[in-house]
Structure 1
Amino acid sequence: MNCLKGKRVFLLGDSTIRQWWEYIVRFVKDLKPLDNHKPGKHQPKIAVNESNDITWQWFCHSYPFIASANTYPEDLKYVATRIDNITGGGDTVVAISLGAHFTPFPLDVFQKRMHNIKAAVQKLLIRSPETKVIVKLANVRENGAIEIFNNWSTFKINQILLEVFHLMDVAFVDAWDVTAVLNSKKIHPNNNILKVELDLFLSFVCSEYVATV
């Protein structure tokens, strides 16, 4: 809780970074989710702690992704657009995670999307250099019934992420290494793996953060 005190955190992207939002809300009891009166998993998720001035929020990336019956088009914005609308500053943390839903498409589709996001991040860091930006790599996953959802495509996507943000003032949470070392091939890793990823994330948010067992 101390690490997030006074912070506005924007988690932008897919369901694997939505898991970060869900994990923190589940285990930090003083962080209260706000009810947006919309069912489904793709709607914006916001939790607050007023006494410690914490805002912890997740927003889904825009298409492509596998939509559900309760998906509202007005809630789906490109990550670059959301970043353009973030003021930034020393109290602001932006975490980005895209990849899994792009594996059925040619790699240049993902590459173009990430270059647009890179441009938005560059503008954000120019107007607010103190903003923390963290990029989460895609995790290892099992090969599904559709062969294009596979680790080779995911590996290539991670290469693109590393190349696009090379030499930029951003940090990386290497979910590929974490899930590979811990021998997880689930699309949505378990709580033990999420804790490791979040410990890495929080260590970038505040240098004094110490992971707990």
Structure 2
Amino acid sequence: MQDASYILSDGTVAQTSKLQLEIKNILNRIDQTIPKNNITIKAKATSAKDSNVFLRNPKSSYCVGDHLIVRVEMFDYQGNQKTYGGDFLRARMFTSELGAASSGKIEDFYNGTYHVHFTLFWEGKVNISIFLMHPSEGSSALWNFRNKWHGYVDHMGKYTKHQEVQEVECGFERMKTQELCEYKDERDEEYFYCAKPQNFSCESLTDVKGWMKQKTLFTEFEYSLFNTSNIRVKIPKDFDAINVLSCNNSTTDIKKKCTFGMKLEYPSGYVMKNVWYPKACSMLKYDHLEKLGECMQGKFIYLFGDSSIRMWILYFQRYLKTLTQFHLYEDNWARQILSLDMKRNMMISWKRHTFPFLGSSYQSWKEERTIAREIDLIGGDQRTVIALTIGAHFKAYPIFHFIRRLLNIRRAIERLFLRSPQTKVIIKTENTSAMKKNIETMSDFHASVHYSIMEIIFSDLNVGFVNGWDMTNAFDSNDVHPPETVVRNEVQMLMTYIC
């Protein structure tokens, strides 16, 4: 597994920093949850169809609010019970007639058995589905290959001088055989390199792009594990729908509005009739964004991240009629978006997080900043809102890049709260995806690891969370760009924190 340490320009290894120690500690915590096995034949891998699901302490009926535990026992294709964990599972309970659903939390005993924890949120006939997304052998391969190299992605930089342009190879690893231009943020220990073009200064780098290569570390064994028929396979269960009653002891207490400082939890709520209901608090309800005019008066809303949070500003533009987009000059889909509402003296903007950011077109290098550096440039006050997400574009890179970026974001938020504790910060977790292509680099397994890291790094900050990871599983959207129904509920959670 690659180390988070780095090499200085003179070839010496830098002394381990406090940040690197934090990265290593978190990386080791995650690594301990990944199975270590040397299996190379599919017959000994986890088989969903040979495994089983059953209720722990089954009853004829349950009450709303009860805690339900489902036991999962995993077997291989030869019918042998597994003796280690690490299977990538996903759990969901639902009542189709009510349009109701929620997620289940997986507890891994690391011996081939699992408990799935559900909260029974509604009355009725409730169905349970447990899916094997990847066998533990697949999870292990994805983790090991991801952290083995930077070879899944190519980068290119464009250098410009007057009318002359030259394109060169770039990347996050030092190229040992070439003279380099080194772009470094010494405080945050972020490094990027390009081969130095002849007759150009390093300062003349204007644009960079990164795109997925058709390279793989998969052997025939891994390909057999990640065949389409082996992804998201339902595990057989020995029970039908359970009966949930309202019961006299069911609580119908009015919950307080969701606010800052509440922990990121899973499951964090449930969906019913296309409306999200948080577990520990209440979400603001409104028919139309226009009704929140007084709340939005004078607000400055900064959205940072990838295309999944970009969908929020597009939603605002669609339904807030007084919002006018200010067209900026950069010419690609990931260009910064700035929208102004002169009536409300309100501003909302979206800006991509800097590299890694995958796409076929060049992105301006001169205007690139990490989210941590963007936060440092915001003074903050009671009118300022910062919402961010990060993750999808990091899946094809060793995990230490993601951990480092999140730790630096946390430090930036802490600095922000020192100068302006009134500033509102909301963090969105990743969405689930379709998982139909590029499994090696784009699997939701990587996103599940990201989610665990977010739980660790942001655990005690006074921020709000929009749990896209939970919501998209409950809605069963399976799309990194979910339908508007999901986006509307994500935006409603955002507005709950703002108003």
Are 2:445 and 1:155 aligned? no
Which amino acid is the alignment partner of residue 392 of structure 2? A
In the other structure, the counterpart of 1:185 is 478
Residues 93 and 131 in structure 1, CA contact (< 8 A), matched pair in contact too: yes
Residues 39 and 70 in structure 1, CA contact (< 8 A), matched pair in contact too: no
Give the distance between the partners of 1:149 and 1:118, measured in 2 at CA: 25
Which amino acid is the alignment partner of residue 204 of structure 1? Y
* Structure 1: gaps of 5 or more residues: 207-213
In the other structure, the counterpart of 2:373 is 81
Structure 2 residue corresponding to 1:91, chosen from 373, 383, 390: 383
Structure 2 residue corresponding to 1:105, chosen from 397, 403, 406: 397
Are 2:329 and 1:50 aligned? no
In the other structure, the counterpart of 2:425 is 133
Secondary structure in structure 2 of the residue aligned to 1:2: helix
Q: CA deviation at 1:189?
A: 1.0
* C-alpha distance after superposition, 1:66-93 (max 9, x if no partner): 1332522223211111000000010000
Structure with more contact order per residue of length (Cα contacts < 8 Å, sep ≥ 6): 1
In the other structure, the counterpart of 2:320 is 28
Residues 44 and 75 in structure 1, CA contact (< 8 A), matched pair in contact too: no
Are 2:301 and 1:9 aligned? yes
TM-score, normalised via structure 1 length:
0.93
Q: CA deviation at 1:39?
A: 2.0
Secondary structure in structure 1 of the residue aligned to 2:442: coil
Q: CA deviation at 1:144?
A: 4.1
Q: Report the structure number with the largest CA radius of gyration.
A: 2
Return 124-133 or 146-155, whichever deviates more: 146-155
Which amino acid is the alignment partner of residue 138 of structure 1? E
* C-alpha distance after superposition, 1:142-164 (max 9, x if no partner): 21421221111101101111211
Q: CA deviation at 1:183?
A: 0.6
Return 137-146 or 124-133, whichever deviates more: 137-146
Secondary structure in structure 2 of the residue aligned to 1:104: coil
Which amino acid is the alignment partner of residue 460 of structure 2? L
Structure 2 residue corresponding to 1:165, chosen from 458, 462, 485: 458
Residues 45 and 57 in structure 1, CA contact (< 8 A), matched pair in contact too: yes
Which amino acid is the alignment partner of residue 326 of structure 2? L
Return 128-137 or 146-155, whichever deviates more: 146-155
Query: When you count strand as a share of all residues, which structure comes out higher?
Result: 2
Secondary structure in structure 2 of the residue aligned to 1:203: helix
Return 23-32 or 142-151, whichever deviates more: 142-151
Residues 7 and 91 in structure 1, CA contact (< 8 A), matched pair in contact too: yes
* C-alpha distance after superposition, 1:126-181 (max 9, x if no partner): 10000000000001112142122111110110111121111111011000111101
Give the distance between the partners of 1:93 and 1:126, measured in 2 at CA: 16
Secondary structure in structure 1 of the residue aligned to 2:294: coil
TM-score, normalised via structure 2 length:
0.40
RMSD of aligned residue pairs (Cα, Å)? 1.2
* Alignment length (residue pairs): 206
Give the distance between the partners of 1:27 and 1:76, measured in 2 at CA: 29
Give the distance between the partners of 1:3 and 1:155, measured in 2 at CA: 34
Which amino acid is the alignment partner of residue 113 of structure 1? R
Residues 34 and 48 in structure 1, CA contact (< 8 A), matched pair in contact too: yes
Give the distance between the partners of 2:376 and 2:436, measured in 1 at CA: 35
Give the distance between the partners of 1:76 and 1:184, measured in 2 at CA: 32
Q: CA deviation at 1:3?
A: 2.7
In the other structure, the counterpart of 2:142 is none
